[in-house]
């Protein structure tokens, strides 16, 4: 049996961009993952779907597993010879019990590595515009647990040291429930009641909320604003810099959490750059056809075609792979003209050294008909042999029109868009809690599969969410279900949809 190993990984404070490259690499080879509640669920998307997922989170005081049970799970899975990732919010060694877990592994002679994460103790203040040290205000800081029962006779916290100026900046983690006792203890031991104080809830996330006051009034403000865990409290003169240095909450799309129902693509990056958080939940998965017969027959007589039309980069990818599998290559396409629907499809084709002869102005079947019917006679459809490798479920608009205009067209299935086995519990909770602000759909299939996954709650959870679509066909499917589409670009591309989302979200 192969020897198992455990990686204790800090998942960071919430912003997925703060997750480390090394942590990502380890997750991608994990065979078992033991994970907490307070982390960005999108990180789980990087884990191989065959890995074993073990939830060990704590929410609202309820523990899914005790610490002893977590330790034992790590030991047992490693002894099975598995690569195990213990995924923890923040940093495993900053009030994360990573030290206890590592000790348990040492006692059982199990190999392990620690992969540090960005702690909320530094990230939440930074995202709130509060530097923990500053040449004019602070040359030291302390990070203190706020979770200790400070009413017990023997506290491990030396309140006199923290209150008397031993540290210029104090950071309390997990202290919301004890905030009244914490501030009272500090003032009892000499900390000025007027010391600037801030509390940051859900730091680095779209839900981030920052309140600022003084040591004497912050507990009241927390109650007044209904601040609940998770939150970080910062005490010290550096808090006064927030008005000048706050940046995250000033981003144009701050507060927006945007659902994308297909795999993440680079075109979505501008949304994140402007402060939005992406919630990736693909409702379609691209797969090869169940039967290659029709596509194989077309490829075997490829030289007879005048045109090949690729309606998506997926269509091209699966076609070219099958061409290679049949022991052919791009030289067999000599003399066949190529049409691409959309700039992204054209770009994918050109990477193979192939020339794209036609890109319709409108990226749909109607635009394709218009492109052929308005071109010079060399591009007329009459008598043309056309190959259209496409998705299993596709519109018949262009094939029907091509035949009406005298063309001959073969439309074999090159790929399928199937519904992945996705558990939508967390997404449904986010939608019900109003934590998704914009939902995007790039095809009727992405929407229909979303409805299947959400079940009878689908319409209800989208009722108060702005819906963005890539084009009119998708919009029609959504409106048929009784929902309203708020955002739709003129050009049916993800980039155009993203641009339209930005315009919509930033309008005054």
Nearest to 377 by CA among 406, 336, 403: 406
- pLDDT single digits (tens) 175-227: 999 999 999 999 999 999 999 999 999 999 999 999 999 999 999 999 999 99
CA distance 318 to 325: 10
Q: What is the mean pLDDT of residues 426-454?
A: 93
**DSSP bridge partners of 235:** 170, 197
Lowest pLDDT segment from 31-40, 59-68, 304-313, 315-324: 59-68
Q: What is the mean pLDDT of residues 297-301?
A: 95
Question: Is 296 exposed, middle or buried (CB count within 10 Å of its CB: 0-12, 13-18, 19+)?
Answer: middle
pLDDT band at 337 (very low <50, low <70, confident <90, very high): very high
287-417 shares the fold of 257-284+419-506: yes
State yes or no: pLDDT of 367 exceeds 80.
no
Report the run of H or E that residue 418 belongs to, with start and end: strand 413-418
Alpha carbon of residue 344 to chain centroid: 22
> What is residue 403's predicted lDDT score, i.e. its pLDDT?
85
Lowest pLDDT segment from 111-125, 360-374, 404-418, 447-461: 360-374
Bridge-based pairing state of the strands 62-63 and 58-59: antiparallel
pLDDT band at 373 (very low <50, low <70, confident <90, very high): low
Sheet holding 5-10: strands in order across? Answer: 52-55, 32-35, 83-88, 5-10, 111-115
Q: Please state the φ and ψ torsions of residue 115, each to the nearest 5 degrees.
A: -115, 105
Report the run of H or E that residue 74 belongs to, with start and end: helix 67-79
CB 77 within 8 A of CB 110: no
Bridge-based pairing state of the strands 209-214 and 196-201: antiparallel
Lowest pLDDT segment from 155-169, 177-191, 201-215, 295-309: 155-169
CA distance 446 to 467: 13
> What is residue 153's predicted lDDT score, i.e. its pLDDT?
65
355 noted as active-site residue: no
CATH code, 122-250: 3.30.950.10
**C-alpha gyration radius of the chain:** 28
pLDDT band at 33 (very low <50, low <70, confident <90, very high): very high
Q: Which of 56-70, 357-371, 378-392, 425-439 has the highest mean pLDDT?
A: 425-439
How many percent of the chain have pLDDT more than 70?
96
Domain boundaries, the chain: 5-117, 122-250, 257-284+419-506, 287-417
State yes or no: pLDDT of 151 exceeds 80.
no
334 noted as active-site residue: no
CATH code, 257-284+419-506: 3.40.50.10090
CA distance 19 to 196: 31
Q: Is the domain defined by 5-117 classed in CATH 3.40.1010.10? A: yes
pLDDT band at 426 (very low <50, low <70, confident <90, very high): confident
CA distance 73 to 416: 39
233 noted as active-site residue: no
Alpha carbon of residue 61 to chain centroid: 26
HSE-CB for 171 with a 13 A CA cutoff: 24
> What is residue 365's predicted lDDT score, i.e. its pLDDT?
67
CA distance 433 to 438: 13
State yes or no: pLDDT of 377 exceeds 60.
no
Mean pLDDT, the chain, whole residue set: 91
Say whether 480 sits in a helix, a strand or coil. helix
CA distance 132 to 143: 10
Catalytic residue (one of 174, 233, 454, 488): 174
State yes or no: pLDDT of 379 exceeds 70.
no
Q: What is the mean pLDDT of residues 12-30?
A: 95
CB 392 within 8 A of CB 413: yes
Nearest to 234 by CA among 135, 148, 143: 143
CA distance 185 to 166: 15
Catalytic residue (one of 3, 29, 58, 463): 58
Q: Determine the topology of domain 287-417 in CATH.
A: Rossmann fold (3.40.50)
CB 159 within 8 A of CB 191: no
CA distance 179 to 253: 31
State yes or no: pLDDT of 60 exceeds 70.
no
CA distance 16 to 18: 5
CB 255 within 8 A of CB 206: yes
> What is residue 399's predicted lDDT score, i.e. its pLDDT?
84
Sheet holding 438-441: strands in order across? Answer: 277-280, 257-260, 438-441, 466-469
Helix 343-350 / helix 313-325 crossing angle, nearest 10 deg:
30
Q: List the alpha helices (DSSP H) in 29-91.
A: 67-79
Nearest to 198 by CA among 231, 165, 150: 231
Q: What is the mean pLDDT of residues 238-261?
A: 97
Catalytic residue (one of 36, 82, 191, 454): 36
Rounded (10°) CA dihedral 383, 385, 388, 394 = 40
Q: Please state the φ and ψ torsions of residue 75, each to the nearest 5 degrees.
A: -65, -50
- CA 93-96-102 angle, to 5 degrees, is 60
State yes or no: pLDDT of 150 exceeds 70.
no
Q: What is the mean pLDDT of residues 125-141?
A: 97
CA distance 249 to 393: 43
CA distance 437 to 450: 16
């Amino acid at each position: 049996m192969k020897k198992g190993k455990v990686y204790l990984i800090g998942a960071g404070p919430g912003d997925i961009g703060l997750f480390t490259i090394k942590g990502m690499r380890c997750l991608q080879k994990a065979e078992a993952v033991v994970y907490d509640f307070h982390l960005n669920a999108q990180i789980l998307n990087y884990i191989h779907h065959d890995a074993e997922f073990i939830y060990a989170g704590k929410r609202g005081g309820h523990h899914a597993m005790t610490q002893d049970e977590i330790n034992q799970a790590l030991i047992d899975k490693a002894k099975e010879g598995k690569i195990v990732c213990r995924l923890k919010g923040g940093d495993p060694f900053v009030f994360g019990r990573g030290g206890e877990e590592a000790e348990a592994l040492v006692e059982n002679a199990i190999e392990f590595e620690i992969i540090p994460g960005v702690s909320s103790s530094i990230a939440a203040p930074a995202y709130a515009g509060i530097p923990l040290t500053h040449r004019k205000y602070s040359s030291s800081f302390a990070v203190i647990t706020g979770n200790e029962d400070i009413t017990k006779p023997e506290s491990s916290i030396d309140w006199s040291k923290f209150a008397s100026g031993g540290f210029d900046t104090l950071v309390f983690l997990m202290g919301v429930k004890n905030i009244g006792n914490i501030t009272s203890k500090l003032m009892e031991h000499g900390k000025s009641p007027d010391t600037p104080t801030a509390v940051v809830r859900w730091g680095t996330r779209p839900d981030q909320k920052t309140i600022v006051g003084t040591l004497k009034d912050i507990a009241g403000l927390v109650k007044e604003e209904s601040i609940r865990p998770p939150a970080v409290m910062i005490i010290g003169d550096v808090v006064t810099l927030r008005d000048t240095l706050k940046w995250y909450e000033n981003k144009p799309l701050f507060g927006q959490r945007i659902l994308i129902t297909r795999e993440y693509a680079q075109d979505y990056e501008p949304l994140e750059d402007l402060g939005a958080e992406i919630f990736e939940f693909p409702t379609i998965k691209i797969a090869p056809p169940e039967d290659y017969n029709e596509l194989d027959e077309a490829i075997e007589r490829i030289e007879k075609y005048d045109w090949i039309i690729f309606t998506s980069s997926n269509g091209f990818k699966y076609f070219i792979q099958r061409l290679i599998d049949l022991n052919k290559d791009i030289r067999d396409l000599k003399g066949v003209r190529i049409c691409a629907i959309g700039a992204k499809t054209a770009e994918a084709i050109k990477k193979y050294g192939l020339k794209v002869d036609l890109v319709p102005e409108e990226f749909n079947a109607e635009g394709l008909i218009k492109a052929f019917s308005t071109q010079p006679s060399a591009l007329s459809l009459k008598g043309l042999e056309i190959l259209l490798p496409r998705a299993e479920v596709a519109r018949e608009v262009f094939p029907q029109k091509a035949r009406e205009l005298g063309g001959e067209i073969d439309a074999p299935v090159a790929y399928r868009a199937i519904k992945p086995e996705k558990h939508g519990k967390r997404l449904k909770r986010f939608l019900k809690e109003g934590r998704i602000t914009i939902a995007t759909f790039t095809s009727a299939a992405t929407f229909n599969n979303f409805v299947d996954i959400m079940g009878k709650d689908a319409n209800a959870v989208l009722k108060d969410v702005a819906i963005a679509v890539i084009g009119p066909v998708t919009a029609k499917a959504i409106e048929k279900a009784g929902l309203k589409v708020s955002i739709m670009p003129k050009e049916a591309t993800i980039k155009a949809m993203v641009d339209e989302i930005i315009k919509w979200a930033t309008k005054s």
